[in-house]
Amino acid sequence: MFSPTAGRNSGPISMILSDILPSSASVLEVGSGTGEHAVAACTARPDINWQTSDPDQKSRQSQDAWRSEHPHQINPSLDLDMTLGSWWANLGEFDAVFSANMIHIAPWEAALGLVKGASEILHSKGLVILYGPFLEGEKTAPSNLKFDETLKSRNPKWGVRTLDSVKHIFAEMGFNLQARFKMPAENQILVFSRN
């Protein structure tokens, strides 16, 4: 599958990932969608290992199809749903957890589950990297306010999350916002790590 959005943003995202991921990093991607971010990141960084995942079967099939571009770097996709308890069981340790455009298009429990699981599977210097839009009070871009309304009309449990609420749930698990990158179309990359 091809996503027009991923087609546009996977280049800029992979440039940032390429700069911040440690050498030979193992990365778990949550809500991988079509799987195009995995390909872009592994093209930019041939030393990394990438685990795609998604609760949606068609998405996992797409991720496994894209995997043929880098079969030695990208592992077969896993069925991981952030709202299910203990999704992290038996996964082993990772250097980074990456998720793009997932926490606003899933219930808030998915964000909570992502943070909880990340705290279980990341080693002490591990990174959580989120890409997407965030609400920031008066600084919020009008396009993101409109997007928030559209999401909520599709599902009241969805919605663009506030930067403060995201920082708060990470802080509760011992993670701080270490870096923030402004991205095209009023999106951001947030990088969290433990103190």
Ligand X SMILES: C[S@@+](CC[C@H](N)C(=O)[O-])C[C@H]1O[C@@H](n2cnc3c(N)ncnc32)[C@H](O)[C@@H]1O
Binding site for ligand X (CB under 6 A): 3, 5-6, 30-34, 54-56, 59, 81-83, 100-102, 105-106, 110
Cβ of residue 103: shortest distance to ligand X, in angstroms? 9
Six token digits for residue 77: 């996709």
Cβ of residue 13: shortest distance to ligand X, in angstroms? 8
Cβ of residue 195: shortest distance to ligand X, in angstroms? 27
Nearer to ligand X, 107 or 141 (CB): 107
Instruction: Enumerate the H helices of the chain as residue ranges.
Output: 4-20, 36-44, 57-66, 108-121, 142-154, 163-172
Nearer to ligand X, 6 or 135 (CB): 6
How would you classify the pairing of strands 187-194 and 122-132?
A: antiparallel
Nearer to ligand X, 106 or 189 (CB): 106
Q: Which residues of 124-134 are buried (b: 16+ CB within 10 A; e: fewer)?
A: eebbbbbbbbb
Cβ of residue 83: shortest distance to ligand X, in angstroms? 4
Nearer to ligand X, 30 or 160 (CB): 30
The CA distance from 119 to 13, in Å, is 23
Nearer to ligand X, 45 or 60 (CB): 60
74: phi then psi, degrees, rounded to nearest 5: -105, 130
Cβ of residue 106: shortest distance to ligand X, in angstroms? 4
Contact between residue 73 and residue 48 where contact means Cβ atoms under 8 Å apart: yes
Q: How many residues does the chain have?
A: 195
